[in-house]
Structure 1
Amino acid sequence: MSGEDTIPPREIELKLLFAHQARALLDRHLAATSGDGGHRTHLVTTYYDSPDLSLWHSGLSLRIRRAGRQRIQTLKAVDEGNQLALDRREWEWVVKSDQPDLSVLAGTPFGPQVTAMQEKLAPVWVSDVHRTTYMVHHDGAMVAVAIDEGCVRAGDACAMVRELELEIRDGPARSLYGLALALQAVVPLRLGVLAKAERGYHLLTGAPAAAVRGGTPVLDGNMTLADGFSTLIRSGLGTLIRNQPAAGAGDPEGIHQMRVAIRQLRTMLQMIASGESDHSVINLFQSELRRIGRGLGEARDWDVLCLETLPAAFSTHGDNDLIRMLVDAAQAQRRVAHQQLFQELETPALTTLVLSLAIWIEEAAFPQGAGQAVSLSHAAPELLDRLARKAGRKGRHIGELSPDERHDLRKALKKLRYGVTYFSALYPSRVVETYVRRCRALLRHLGENNDATVAATLIHTLGAAHLKLAPVAGIFARWNDKRQRHALHALVSAWKVFRDTRPFWR
Structure 2
Amino acid sequence: MATEVELKLAFPGNALAAVEAHPLIAGSPREGNDETLENTYFDTPTLELFAEKIAVRTRKAGKRWLQTVKCAATSVGGLSSRPEWEQPYRDQFDFAAVDAEKVRKFLESRQPRLLPLFSTVFLRQTRRIEPRPGVVILLMLDVGKVVSAQGETPISELELELVSGAPSDLQDFALTLAADLPLIPFDRSKAERGYRLFRKTAEKPVKAGKTPAQPEMTPREAFRAIALQGQQTWQANLFGALNSDDPEYIHQFRVSLRKLNTLVRVFEPVIGDSFYGTWADQLKSLAATSGEARDLDVMRDEILQPLLCSEGDASHHQHVNLALAAVAAARSRAGEHFDRQRHGPPLLSFVRDLELLPNPLTAPRIGDFAEARLARLHRKAAKRLATTVRKPTPENAHRFRISLKHLRYTCEFFAPLFDEAPMTAFAREVASLQDEFGFINDLYVALQRLDSWSADDPALKDARDHIARWYSGRLDQSLASGLDAATTVLGQCLPWCGECDRRQIEGIRKRIKQGIAVRID
From 16, 19, 24, the equivalent of 1:22 is 19
**Residue identity matched to 1:385:** A
1:67-94 residue CA offsets vs partner (Å, 9 max, x unmatched): 233333445566668x323547565453
From 442, 448, 451, the equivalent of 1:457 is 448
From 236, 240, 248, the equivalent of 1:242 is 236
What's the TM-score, normalizing by structure 1?
Answer: 0.80
Q: Secondary structure at the match of 1:413?
A: helix
Q: Secondary structure at the match of 2:290?
A: helix
1:238-258 residue CA offsets vs partner (Å, 9 max, x unmatched): 111111122123321111111
1:108-166 residue CA offsets vs partner (Å, 9 max, x unmatched): 399589949948x4453432222304265779876443232444455797765442212
From 282, 301, 316, the equivalent of 2:276 is 282
Structure 1 residues 397 and 219, CA gap change in structure 2 (3 angstroms)? same
Whole-Å separation in 1 of the counterparts to 2:400 and 2:407:
10
From 161, 171, 178, the equivalent of 1:177 is 171
Q: Secondary structure at the match of 1:218?
A: coil
Match in the other structure for 1:6: none
Whole-Å separation in 1 of the counterparts to 2:109 and 2:160:
29
Structure 1 residues 276 and 427, CA gap change in structure 2 (3 angstroms)? closer
Whole-Å separation in 2 of the counterparts to 1:220 and 1:441:
26
Q: Secondary structure at the match of 1:395?
A: helix
From 356, 364, 378, the equivalent of 2:368 is 378
Q: Given that residues 427 and 505 in structure 1 are in contact (C-alpha distance below 8 angstroms), is that contact kept between their aligned partners in structure 2?
A: yes
From 313, 335, 338, the equivalent of 1:338 is 335
| 1:433 counterpart = 2:430 | no
Match in the other structure for 2:515: none
From 323, 338, 347, the equivalent of 1:354 is 347
Structure 1 residues 397 and 278, CA gap change in structure 2 (3 angstroms)? closer
Q: Given that residues 214 and 257 in structure 1 are in contact (C-alpha distance below 8 angstroms), is that contact kept between their aligned partners in structure 2?
A: no
Structure 1 residues 334 and 53, CA gap change in structure 2 (3 angstroms)? farther
Match in the other structure for 1:492: 483
Whole-Å separation in 1 of the counterparts to 2:378 and 2:163:
46
**Alpha-carbon offset, residue 300 of structure 1:** 0.9
**Residue identity matched to 1:338:** G
1:332-366 residue CA offsets vs partner (Å, 9 max, x unmatched): 3223222322xxx232x222222222221111447
Structure 1 residues 116 and 443, CA gap change in structure 2 (3 angstroms)? farther
Structure 1 residues 373 and 172, CA gap change in structure 2 (3 angstroms)? farther
Match in the other structure for 2:295: 301
From 199, 204, 223, the equivalent of 1:210 is 204
Match in the other structure for 1:5: none
Whole-Å separation in 1 of the counterparts to 2:16 and 2:304:
40
Q: Where in structure 2 are there 5+ consecutive unaligned residues? A: 498-521
**Residue identity matched to 2:125:** R
Structure 1 residues 138 and 229, CA gap change in structure 2 (3 angstroms)? farther
**Alpha-carbon offset, residue 289 of structure 1:** 2.1
Q: Secondary structure at the match of 1:505?
A: coil
Structure 1 residues 270 and 448, CA gap change in structure 2 (3 angstroms)? same
Matches within 5 A, 1:407-422: 407-422=398-413
Matches within 5 A, 1:117-196: 118=113, 121-134=115-128, 136=130, 143-153=137-147, 161-168=155-162, 173-184=167-178, 187-193=180-186, 194-196=188-190
Match in the other structure for 1:396: 386
Q: Secondary structure at the match of 1:436?
A: helix
Structure 1 residues 277 and 110, CA gap change in structure 2 (3 angstroms)? same
Q: Where in structure 1 are there 5+ consecutive unaligned residues? A: 3-8
Match in the other structure for 2:253: 258
**Residue identity matched to 2:335:** H
Match in the other structure for 2:513: none
Structure 1 residues 145 and 316, CA gap change in structure 2 (3 angstroms)? same
Matches within 5 A, 1:462-473: 465-468=456-459, 473=464
**Alpha-carbon offset, residue 421 of structure 1:** 1.0
Whole-Å separation in 2 of the counterparts to 1:144 and 1:319:
68
Whole-Å separation in 2 of the counterparts to 1:412 and 1:180:
37
Match in the other structure for 1:108: 103
Whole-Å separation in 1 of the counterparts to 2:71 and 2:464:
53
**Alpha-carbon offset, residue 426 of structure 1:** 0.7
**Alpha-carbon offset, residue 497 of structure 1:** 0.8
1:165-203 residue CA offsets vs partner (Å, 9 max, x unmatched): 123456654443223224445x42521425434555777
Q: Secondary structure at the match of 2:258?
A: helix
Q: Given that residues 123 and 143 in structure 2 are in contact (C-alpha distance below 8 angstroms), is that contact kept between their aligned partners in structure 1?
A: yes
**Alpha-carbon offset, residue 473 of structure 1:** 4.7
**Alpha-carbon offset, residue 495 of structure 1:** 1.4
**Alpha-carbon offset, residue 310 of structure 1:** 2.7
Question: Which segment is superposed worse, 405-414 or 18-27?
Answer: 18-27
Match in the other structure for 1:482: 473
- Give the superposed CA RMSD: 4.0
Structure 1 residues 11 and 397, CA gap change in structure 2 (3 angstroms)? same
Structure 1 residues 107 and 434, CA gap change in structure 2 (3 angstroms)? closer
Whole-Å separation in 2 of the counterparts to 1:147 and 1:155:
26
Whole-Å separation in 2 of the counterparts to 1:408 and 1:293:
17
Whole-Å separation in 2 of the counterparts to 1:100 and 1:289:
49
**Alpha-carbon offset, residue 49 of structure 1:** 6.6
Question: Which segment is superposed worse, 38-47 or 239-248?
Answer: 38-47
Whole-Å separation in 1 of the counterparts to 2:112 and 2:152:
27
**Alpha-carbon offset, residue 488 of structure 1:** 0.5
From 266, 270, 273, the equivalent of 1:271 is 266
Match in the other structure for 2:506: none
**Alpha-carbon offset, residue 13 of structure 1:** 3.1
1:266-292 residue CA offsets vs partner (Å, 9 max, x unmatched): 11221233457746x533323332222
**Alpha-carbon offset, residue 416 of structure 1:** 1.5
Q: Given that residues 142 and 170 in structure 1 are in contact (C-alpha distance below 8 angstroms), is that contact kept between their aligned partners in structure 2?
A: yes
1:91-115 residue CA offsets vs partner (Å, 9 max, x unmatched): 5453536787799999539958994
Whole-Å separation in 2 of the counterparts to 1:465 and 1:53:
60
Identity of aligned residues (%): 25
Q: Secondary structure at the match of 2:159?
A: strand
Q: Given that residues 64 and 73 in structure 1 are in contact (C-alpha distance below 8 angstroms), is that contact kept between their aligned partners in structure 2?
A: yes
Whole-Å separation in 1 of the counterparts to 2:458 and 2:108:
64
Pair member with larger Rg: 2
Q: Given that residues 63 and 74 in structure 1 are in contact (C-alpha distance below 8 angstroms), is that contact kept between their aligned partners in structure 2?
A: yes
Q: Secondary structure at the match of 1:340?
A: coil
1:365-422 residue CA offsets vs partner (Å, 9 max, x unmatched): 47xxx58633322322222222222222222143333211221121122111111111
Q: Secondary structure at the match of 2:209?
A: coil
Structure 1 residues 316 and 115, CA gap change in structure 2 (3 angstroms)? farther
Q: How many matched pairs?
A: 485
**Alpha-carbon offset, residue 218 of structure 1:** 1.9
Structure 1 residues 273 and 430, CA gap change in structure 2 (3 angstroms)? closer
**Residue identity matched to 1:339:** E
Structure 1 residues 432 and 169, CA gap change in structure 2 (3 angstroms)? farther
Q: Given that residues 44 and 65 in structure 1 are in contact (C-alpha distance below 8 angstroms), is that contact kept between their aligned partners in structure 2?
A: yes
